[in-house]
Chains A and B, each alone.
Chain A
């Protein structure tokens, strides 16, 4: 049976300043399908859907909903027309219950008593129908990310939408939660809903979507049925002609050699029973023991907010250790400040690039030497050698593909991805003994991500130590030699490369330590 097109976007164009975010993009959604919107960062996926949801105005083009031209002025408008969107960052009130969050902003039958039995009934029915199991009386703050996402989907369903847009829904979900989500999505489309699934993860669209549209640099590349196309076609469509896929790490398939630690005597960095108690007395890190050897990439997996940031800041000396020991090249550096550590061989790519890593009012050159401004060749300790700095910066701009007017350009003029490249160039431009990289590829397109991976492997070759903290489990499994899983500030387990199993890691990520045997990959419906 040929499915009917329910929604169509035609020749949509959107320009931000001088950047063309969308260039005549068309997109058609059929009733009862899961339509993947695939592309790297900056491809324009989210922009396109934000236009549909009424968050942005389009400059040109039209939107046809059930064969009628519509103009969507805002999210309320979109919801009234039957379009719901689940964003990457949930908009929820954490000290309200699940039910309260779902019905917030809608009319309640018993306005004066606020008895919500009827509404609860309706939500419960939705939960059952779509296999979205959440307890309606739980407080949002007690829920996992996966459960909070279910709440967000229920919010849209409760409002009676029949088109659901999911923006990178699998970020921060454990593999088990991802599987459950996919099952629910399938139930929804069988029930007549249509779903747009925005992602940059190829494997996910291949496993769950019926049709796939690929965007690249704001342009339509192709739309294909899942069953008509092979993985290679999509890979090529995503990255373009220029990238060398054969030698890429992003798409690598062959098994890499496990790191052989017997050849190295001592770790470059060692944490011994490190504890961190925050200012308000809450323990953030509990008895963390971790070794990073030279020539090794150690990955830290975990759902965001389980102590990753604290771990990065403790290692780099941004915050002092409350308890325990830090050993660097055999010396106790527990009480050293970040000033000392940065000048003695540490480099750091912080997670929150805008707040923790970048000087928007300073020049690109000034940004590139931040943290290394006291050491050679940039400085003799008193004066900064701007000639060398500018020469290095010019070199780095080229090597790291930073789009800017030059070393003297003001940092605030750069786009997010380019700011990330500045941070990466800063950290990689010196051969630091220990690098702490926290979500280093966030906001980068695939060729740039691949470049970062190449750089990390080069560090591995050069016998340097790298601690990679990432929320992207695929990334960690692609490149790490060992993966340590962090849960509520504790390292629950460390797996070597030959033991990598995403379900085992997923269980640890949700705090389950017993029966840690690798399981067989579940078949998806």
Chain B
């Protein structure tokens, strides 16, 4: 099958969802064309819009990968949010505790703190799965709540910034800030690392022996086991990797955007990440492209709300419809 033929159902799904959502928008009494213009072109009209898009793109890609890597092994990681928050806490802890260290040491420490904390948040459900066969969907979701309360504790506890009105910690050490690529509007260098991670994950799953074992495990764990793949090890590995990638996203929020830990940093990246992962059908190569598309929609959506007073939720509807139509195209093709 040619690439064009493969992409066609996706394009149809996108067009169909826009048409469907357009009916709602016009029923609500808004100008559909203007709304869509705003949604689609805000990201490309101004430098600010584009950088906003890139800043959304980073966590979206990473959270989507945190979902797809375990998905490749046949496991559902619904804990990207918790792993991201844990990553943020880990990064902030490093940045605050060792605030005086020079950048050359502190920055890697902050990033690593995030990655390790995220991986740990993935490790516990993985271990419970390995040892007691406890369903990972349940445990990863529950670990989101633990992270939520932990972040609440950290932001209101000893590291609290008393001057802020919202629960936040104090700033992390200057050395822990990610260098800026563009200063105004601000774009931090985490994007380079995020793209490298996405490429790395793609190469790992499609080219390496370990990645093959991951895919084989997801395709049929019993057969993979019969042919010498330690599937339970692959389950654990995939959840830890997913957690680490989500943790990296948390570290970027701290080291790149806010320079402190803020309650609510997780936004709705988990849900969007899962939507991206599902639209990509677990194909890690497609994730960054889909993530970019969703980032464009997200940025366009807030612009639409600002200028036209159309609720931002409209875009959620579009995103959900795209997913539905993509899944539907699967069913249609099978017929």
Listed in ascending order, the chain A residues whose CB lies under 8 Å from chain B are 313, 316-318, 337-343, 348, 350, 355-362, 366, 369-371, 373-374, 379, 381-384, 386, 411
Residues of A within 8 A of B209 (CB): 373-374, 379, 381-384
Residues of A within 8 A of B207 (CB): 383-384, 386
Binary flags per residue of B211-223, CB closer than 8 Å to A gives 1, else 0 = 0110110111011
Q: Are A382 and B208 in contact (CB under 8 A)?
A: yes
Please tell me which stretch of B136-144, B167-175, B227-235 contacts chain A, meaning at least 4 of its Cβ atoms lie within 8 angstroms of it.
B227-235
Q: Are A370 and B215 in contact (CB under 8 A)?
A: no
Q: Are B216 and A350 in contact (CB under 8 A)?
A: no
Known: A383-B207, A386-B207. A366 touches B226 (CB 8 A): no
Q: Are B228 and A362 in contact (CB under 8 A)?
A: no
Q: State the CA gap A350–B227 with chains docked (Å).
A: 10
- Can you report 17 residue pairs joining A to B where beta carbons are below 8 Å apart? A318-B226, A337-B228, A341-B228, A342-B228, A348-B226, A350-B226, A356-B223, A356-B226, A361-B220, A362-B219, A366-B219, A371-B228, A373-B209, A373-B213, A374-B209, A383-B209, A384-B207
Known: A366-B216, A373-B213. A338 touches B208 (CB 8 A): no
Q: State the CA gap A313–B229 with chains docked (Å).
A: 14
Residues of A within 8 A of B226 (CB): 313, 316, 318, 338, 348, 350, 356-357
Residues of B within 8 A of A338 (CB): 226-228
Known: A373-B209, A373-B213. 13 other contacts (CB 8 A): A313-B226, A338-B226, A342-B227, A355-B222, A358-B223, A359-B219, A359-B223, A359-B224, A361-B219, A362-B216, A362-B219, A366-B216, A384-B208
Q: Nearest-CB distance from A429 to chain B (Å)?
A: 14
Which DSSP category, helix, strand, loop or mixed, fits chain B's interface? helix
Q: State the CA gap A356–B210 with chains docked (Å).
A: 20
Kindly name the residue among A316, A358, A361, A379 whose own CB sees the greatest number of chain B CB atoms within 10 A: A361
Residues of A within 8 A of B230 (CB): 339
The 9 closest A-B pairs by CB, nearest first: A371-B227, A359-B219, A339-B228, A361-B219, A362-B219, A338-B228, A342-B228, A356-B226, A359-B220
Q: Nearest-CB distance from B282 to chain A (Å)?
A: 9
Q: Are B220 and A355 in contact (CB under 8 A)?
A: yes
Chain B residue nearest in CB terms to A343: B228
Chain B residue nearest in CB terms to A385: B207
Residues of B within 8 A of A362 (CB): 215-216, 219-220
Q: State the CA gap A104–B223 with chains docked (Å).
A: 38
Chain B residue nearest in CB terms to A389: B212
Q: Nearest-CB distance from B319 to chain A (Å)?
A: 25
Q: Nearest-CB distance from A337 to chain B (Å)?
A: 7
Residues of B within 8 A of A357 (CB): 223, 226-227
Q: State the CA gap A27–B257 with chains docked (Å).
A: 77
Q: State the CA gap A227–B47 with chains docked (Å).
A: 90
Residues of B within 8 A of A369 (CB): 212
Q: Are A348 and B227 in contact (CB under 8 A)?
A: yes
Kindly name the residue among B207, B210, B212, B228 whose own CB sees the greatest number of chain A CB atoms within 10 A: B228
Q: State the CA gap A361–B207 with chains docked (Å).
A: 17
- B200 at the binding interface (Cβ < 8 Å): no
Known: A338-B228, A383-B209. A360 touches B222 (CB 8 A): no
